Structure 1
Amino acid sequence: MSPDLSHIDTWLFDLDNTLYPEESGFMREVEGRMTRFVEKVTGLPRDDAYALQKKYLAEHGLTLKGLMLHHGVDPADFHALFHDLSLEVLARDAELLAALAKLPGRRLIFTNADDIHAERVLKHLGLRDLFDDVFHIASFDFAPKPDPLGFQRMIDAHGLDPNATSFFEDSEKNLKPAADLGMTTVLVGPRAAASTAPFVHHRAARLTSFLAGARLKESK
């Protein structure tokens, strides 16, 4: 059966590993640079730095948040690590562009990345003009997903009706606060089919085919 999204008029999307496939491998380079940064800041050997990186991610929703709280890291220094990343592994998807373009209502990005990274990736993928705004980590004052405060700041900033909003994410845990608020949640990516979380309403191995097959609100 086609997923029924006919009640949705605001489309909220995570960015990395959601608007492009995880199989691209792009985030592996991001993770590698992050680990090297943690090594430099803490003086830990690589394996220990990687373990701390993942510990902060699990505890705070974002490695950067742990580095800020426990090591006084300047977010600008951290984000600068990723501003010269090659985007060659990210390919434009004409079918995804078409599927996004037909979605009725507003389209927004909700990402734990910074504004420069988000703009670079969206422009490279040819998606920037399809979105009304990018709500990035500084927009919600470093209360990263899945912190409910970040979600509330998103809702307040854009006047969202959660009951008419669908949120697309590759991270299962980031969908729980969205569901608690009344949003329709969609888990995207290779692990989506295996998810049994009750707060995941739809599962999509491929975002493009999911959107193309969804039942949408009819235009007036």
Structure 2
Amino acid sequence: MEEKAVFFFDIDNCLYPRSLKILDLMSSKIDDYFKLKLDVSEEEALRIHTQYMMDYGLAIEGLVRHHSIDPLDYNSKVDDSIPIFDIIKPDPKLRSFLESFNRSKVKLWLLTNAYKTHASRVIKALDVEDLFEGCTFCDYTEPVLVCKPKPEMFTRAMQQAGVTDKNKCYFVDDSAKNVRGAKAFGWKLAAHFLEPEDPSPAVPVGDCEVRDLAELKTIVPELFV
């Protein structure tokens, strides 16, 4: 039997709008965590946070590498402390879009740099958890964290989703860095998600840009019929 294609979806600021400010809340909590655990000023916490995001793409990776922080403690006090269900509500439009995929041709899969608990809470709040067949996440229990845009993360996602052909892998993410990574890795489609008000990058970072996930129906119509 021919293997199905897989459409990999980022979660944060992709399945829900940036205007909900989930990542702003998260960023504030990260700074608070830095101040508490490293006993530094607010200015120093922001500096270190920014530096680790630049160096590793994840603040938690810098904390683990340089400060022996327990990533699960971090997760409980940062991501999992956000009142997701007070902020994110069921999204019938998103659900209708996801339901329009032809499931005989493609499976839907989540690909996130968050831990699994955050991913689970978000898709439950959106009321779309039953539409995804799995989730590849940054496993905070591992001694070395693997996250997008590392090639190892894309390899892991393919293994977990049960697809061997890169030409059957489709991806959408709001992070330019992650979209570039997926394109460099050789996936068939790397789509850059932008909010309506965002300017297009001077140099395209993927195969296409979308400002509404429903636009994917015209970009890869073969997955919907």
TM over 0.5: yes
Q: Structure 1 counterpart of 2:209, which letter?
A: R
Q: Which one of 14, 19, 22 corresponds to residue 15 of structure 2?
A: 19
Task: Give a deviation string over 1:69-124, Cα, whole Å, max 9, x none.
Answer: 00001111011012232122223221111111122311111111111111111101
Any residues of structure 2 matched to 1:105-124 within 5 Å, and which? 105-124=106-125
Is contact 1:103–1:216 with CA below 8 Å preserved after alignment? no
Structure 2 counterpart of 1:53: 49
2:83 to 81, 86, 99: 86
Q: Which range moves more in the overlay, 195-204 or 168-177? A: 195-204
Report the more deviating stretch, 14-23 or 138-147.
Answer: 138-147
Match of 1:4 in 2: none
Q: Identify which of 102, 105, 114 aligns with 2:100.
A: 102
Structure 2: give runs of 5+ residues left out of the alignment.
none
Normalising by the residue count of structure 1, what TM-score does the alignment of the two structures yield?
0.88
Distance 1:107 1:99 in 2: 12
What is the CA-CA distance between 1:159 and the residue it aligns to? Answer: 3.2
* Higher RCO structure, 1 or 2 (CA under 8 Å, sep 6+): 1
C-alpha deviation, 1:139, in angstroms:
8.2
Q: Does residue 1:168 correspond to 2:172, yes or no?
A: yes
Assess if the C-alpha contact under 8 Å between 2:72 and 2:140 holds in 1. no
Of 194, 212, 218, the residue aligned with 2:200 is 194
1:197/1:163 CA distance change after superposition, 3 Å? farther
Matched with 2:24 is: 28
> RMSD between aligned alpha carbons?
2.2
Distance between the aligned counterparts of 1:85 and 1:121, measured in 2? Answer: 11
Q: Which runs of 5+ in 1 are unaligned?
A: 1-7
Deviations 1:187-206 (A, max 9, x none): 11227651244441111122
1:143 equivalenced with 2:146 (yes/no): yes
Equivalents in 1 of 2:40, 2:5: separation in Å? 47
The answer (yes or no) to whether the contact 2:52–2:58 under 8 Å persists in 1 is yes
Percent of paired sites with the same residue: 24
Decide which moves more: 135-144 or 55-64.
Answer: 135-144
Question: Relative to 1, partners in 2 of residues 1:182 and 1:164: Cα closer, same or farther, differing over 3 Å?
Answer: same
Q: How many residues align?
A: 212
Structure 2 counterpart of 1:65: 61
Report the secondary structure of 1:134's partner residue: strand
TM-score by length of 2: 0.86
